[in-house]
C-alpha cells in the first residue's frame, strides 16, 4: 500500500502537506501548482485513500522548531532529552515528527503552515514568535522566555526550586553566596540573535539576596564548562570568602568545581555548590554534585500531548504547564535542611 510519506518524498513536500491536500483542506496555504503536484503524484503511485469507516487513526504531523545547531544539541543533554522524549512519545500515540527545523537554516511559511501543530524549543524573540504564529497558530513553546496569552507553554519549575536552594545555603550558615549563569540569547527567524532574555534563576537570586540584605556576587557567560571556571575565578577574586555557589547547569558546575580545587577549596566542605540538569555523570563526580532534575523527559512528553490536542482541534484556549523540578542532594550540599 502506498503511504503518505512515499507521496511526500516523490513530490518533494512534507507529509503533512500531502495529508492535508488529499483530505481537501482548503485552509492549507500552498500554491495551486504544489497542490496539483501532490494530487498527480498520488495518482501516479496508485494511492488509495482509506475509507472514513476505517478504524485506523488519522496521522497528525507535528513540526519541531529549534534554535539550536546540531553541534550545540549534541553537547546539551537537557535539550537533547526533551527532543528525544517528544519523538518517543510521538511514536507511542501515532503522531508523525517529520523533521527538526533549525532556525539557523531559515523557516518557510508554506512549510510551517502545512503542519497540524508546531513545537518550539529554545528562546525566540517576540517578533519571531508572532511571525511563526501567523504561519501556524497551533504552537507549543518549551522552556522559552517569550510568552503570549494565547500560545501553549511547557516549562520546568525554576523559581520555587531556586528559592529552596538559597534557603538551604542560608540555613547552613552561608552568607557569601554567588551565582554563575548562562546567557539566553533571543533568536530571530533567520537564525540571528537579537538581545537577551533574563534567566528566572538569576532574577530570583538577585531578589533573594536583596531581601536577606546580602551582597550579590554574579557572573554570566556561554553555556559551557569554561564559564564555570572563569566565573568562579572572577567571583573569588572579588570576594575570597564566597562560601556557596548556585550554578545554572551541570557543565558549568564542572568548570566551577575544577576552579575551586585549583584554589584549594573542597566543594561541599569549604563551599557549597548546587547546579541544574542532573546529568548522569553528576553522581560520579568527586565529590558527587548536588543538582536539580528539571524532568526533561516529562517536558517533552507534555509538549507533545499539548501539540496533539491542538492538532485535533480539541480546544481553542491555551494551556501553560509547569513541571515540578526535584533537588537531588549529594556531597556538594550533603544534607537536606529542615
pLDDT, tens only, 127-176: 999 999 999 999 999 999 888 999 999 999 999 999 999 999 999 999 99
CATH 3.40.50.2300 fits domain 159-294+326-333: yes
pLDDT tens digits, the chain, 338 residues: what are they?
A: 567 778 888 888 877 788 778 777 666 677 888 888 888 888 888 876 654 443 334 678 999 999 988 888 778 899 999 999 999 999 999 898 877 899 888 887 778 888 999 999 999 999 999 999 999 999 999 999 888 999 999 999 999 999 999 999 999 999 999 999 999 999 999 889 989 999 999 999 999 999 999 999 999 999 999 999 999 999 999 999 999 999 999 999 999 999 999 999 999 999 999 999 999 999 999 999 999 999 999 999 999 999 999 999 988 899 999 999 999 999 999 765 44
Provide CATH code, domain 1-56: 1.10.260.40
pTM for this prediction: 0.83
CA–CA separation, 209 and 39 (whole Å): 64
Q: Can you give the residue ranges of every domain in the chain?
A: 1-56, 159-294+326-333
Answer whether 1-56 and 159-294+326-333 agree in fold.
Answer: no
Q: Peptide bond preceding 287: is omega within 30 degrees of 0, i.e. cis?
A: yes
SS3 83: helix
CA–CA separation, 24 and 39 (whole Å): 10
Q: Which of 104, 109, 106 is nearest to 136 (CA)?
A: 109
Q: Which of 212, 209, 199 is nearest to 276 (CA)?
A: 199
**Cell numbers at 70, concatenated:** 546540531
Amino acid at each position: 500500500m502506498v503511504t503518505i510519506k512515499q507521496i511526500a518524498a516523490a513530490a518533494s513536500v512534507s507529509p503533512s502537506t500531502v495529508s492535508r491536500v488529499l483530505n481537501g483542506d482548503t485552509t492549507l496555504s500552498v500554491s495551486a501548482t504544489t497542490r496539483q503536484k501532490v494530487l498527480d503524484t498520488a495518482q501516479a503511485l496508485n494511492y488509495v485513500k482509506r475509507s472514513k469507516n476505517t478504524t485506523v487513526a488519522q496521522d497528525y504531523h507535528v513540526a519541531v522548531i529549534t534554535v539550536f545547531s546540531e553541534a550545540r544539541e549534541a553537547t546539551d543533554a537537557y535539550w537533547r532529552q526533551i527532543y528525544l522524549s517528544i519523538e518517543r512519545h510521538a511514536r507511542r500515540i501515532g503522531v508523525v515528527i517529520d523533521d527538526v527545523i533549525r532556525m539557523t537554516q531559515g523557516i518557510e511559511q508554506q512549510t510551517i503552515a502545512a503542519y497540524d501543530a508546531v513545537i518550539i524549543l529554545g528562546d525566540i524573540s517576540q517578533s519571531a514568535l508572532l511571525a511563526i504564529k501567523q504561519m501556524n497558530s497551533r504552537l507549543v513553546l518549551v522552556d522559552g522566555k517569550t510568552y503570549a496569552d494565547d500560545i501553549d507553554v511547557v516549562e520546568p519549575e525554576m523559581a520555587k526550586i531556586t528559592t529552596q536552594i538559597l534557603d538551604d545555603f542560608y540555613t547552613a550558615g552561608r552568607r557569601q553566596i554567588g551565582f554563575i549563569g548562562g546567557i539566553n540569547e533571543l533568536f530571530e527567524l533567520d537564525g540571528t540573535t537579537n538581545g537577551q532574555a533574563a534567566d528566572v534563576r538569576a532574577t530570583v537570586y538577585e531578589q533573594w539576596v536583596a531581601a536577606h540584605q546580602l551582597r550579590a556576587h554574579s557572573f554570566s557567560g556561554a553555556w559551557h564548562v569554561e564559564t564555570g571556571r572563569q566565573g568562579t575565578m572572577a567571583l573569588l577574586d572579588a570576594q575570597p570568602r564566597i562560601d556557596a555557589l548556585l550554578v545554572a547547569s551541570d557543565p558549568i558546575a564542572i568548570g566551577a568545581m575544577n576552579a575551586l580545587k585549583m584554589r584549594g577549596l573542597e566543594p561541599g566542605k569549604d563551599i557549597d555548590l548546587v547546579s541544574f540538569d542532573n546529568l548522569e555523570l553528576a553522581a560520579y563526580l568527586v565529590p558527587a554534585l548536588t543538582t536539580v532534575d528539571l524532568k526533561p523527559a516529562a517536558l517533552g512528553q507534555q509538549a507533545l500531548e499539548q501539540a496533539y490536542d491542538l492538532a485535533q482541534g480539541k480546544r481553542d484556549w491555551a494551556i501553560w504547564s509547569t513541571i515540578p523540578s526535584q533537588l537531588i542532594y549529594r556531597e556538594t550540599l550533603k544534607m537536606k535542611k529542615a
